[in-house]
Chain A
Amino acid sequence: MAKQDIIKEIKEKLGKKIVKWEEKPPKRYYITIARDDILEAANFVFKKQKARFITESGVDTPLSIEILYHFSFDGLSKIVTLKVLLPKDGCEVESIASLIPGASWIEREVAELLGVKFLNHPDPRRLLLAEDWPEGEFPLRQKIRENQ
């Protein structure tokens, strides 16, 4: 498949669902979509286009919590990142772990470190933090400062 097609395909498939398109061609693409569209977009990129799921990055910004889903097109040297912006109240999004088993752990981690709720996650236990870590304290949110 020619290099152009993968990116063109994504553009065509997502169409109006694309909220923002940032790119550093030919290697890096960042596509912001609405949170309700993530399952469909991930399904297309992972199952249809056979991209490899790398990981999810959660970022706490002043306006929202961003979840970045990174996918790699290995033969084509491209990494496509789907971005979803979540409001700080009601910070929830559909889990992609049933679709991509390799996403199960990272969603557990983002949930406990950033306070994001992944709906319908098959195994929503704590992953990294100790049992006695206080509920409701999310270490990667900006308001937590390092111990002095």
Chain B
Amino acid sequence: MNKLWALKKSIWVYHVSSGSCNNCDIEILDCLTPKFDLERFGILLVGSARHADVILATGAVTRKALPRIKRVYEQMPQPKLVIAVGGCACSGGIFKNGYNIVGPYDKIIPVTAYIPGCPPKPEAIIDGVVKVINSL
């Protein structure tokens, strides 16, 4: 049995942002508000990587934030997934060639899925997360 089947229901997500303009972060938070309301699916935003199944990562990774990203990934227990949300997390976006950018995320930690957009709409984020869960 695929050990990731445990993630199929009620996944707990941890949100990490590094060097983002915060738009993707707000759209992720918008998913929790009454209009989209992810919590009715059991998807919970948790306060610590140690409790999380999935990381929602936003932003192009800056140099100062790099150690923190690595540490957060190490703290997560297996099985773990990383979803890169937004253009910057997927590819560096418009900041790709900046002198302070060391990302995108897949240069640093293994990324399971990419949700492009600037920012991706809440519908797109939900769609992406559901696709990931269904593919497990």
- Listed in ascending order, the chain A residues whose CB lies under 8 Å from chain B are 129-130, 132-133, 139, 144, 146-148
Contact indicator B97/A148 (Cβ below 8 Å): yes
Among A133, A139, A147, the residue within 8 A (CB) of B97 is A147
Contact indicator B99/A146 (Cβ below 8 Å): yes
A148–B98 Cα distance when bound, in Å, is 9
- Of all chain B residues, the one with the shortest Cβ separation from A140 is B99
Contact indicator B63/A147 (Cβ below 8 Å): no
A-B contact count (CB 8 A): 19
Contact indicator B98/A133 (Cβ below 8 Å): no
**In the complex, what residues of A have CB within 8 A of residue B63's CB?**
129-130, 132-133
Among B64, B99, B101, the residue within 8 A (CB) of A144 is B99
A144–B98 Cα distance when bound, in Å, is 11
Main DSSP-derived SS at the B contact region: loop
- Listed in ascending order, the chain B residues whose CB lies under 8 Å from chain A are 63-64, 97-101
- Of all chain A residues, the one with the shortest Cβ separation from B99 is A139
**In the complex, what residues of B have CB within 8 A of residue A129's CB?**
63-64, 100
A100–B101 Cα distance when bound, in Å, is 32
A144–B97 Cα distance when bound, in Å, is 12
Contacts A147-B98, A148-B97 supplied; 7 other A-B pairs, CB < 8 Å: A129-B100, A132-B63, A139-B99, A139-B100, A146-B97, A146-B98, A147-B97
A129–B98 Cα distance when bound, in Å, is 13
For this complex, 19 residue pairs linking A to B, each with C-beta atoms less than 8 Å apart, are A129-B63, A129-B64, A129-B100, A130-B63, A130-B64, A130-B100, A132-B63, A133-B63, A139-B99, A139-B100, A144-B99, A146-B97, A146-B98, A146-B99, A147-B97, A147-B98, A147-B99, A147-B101, A148-B97
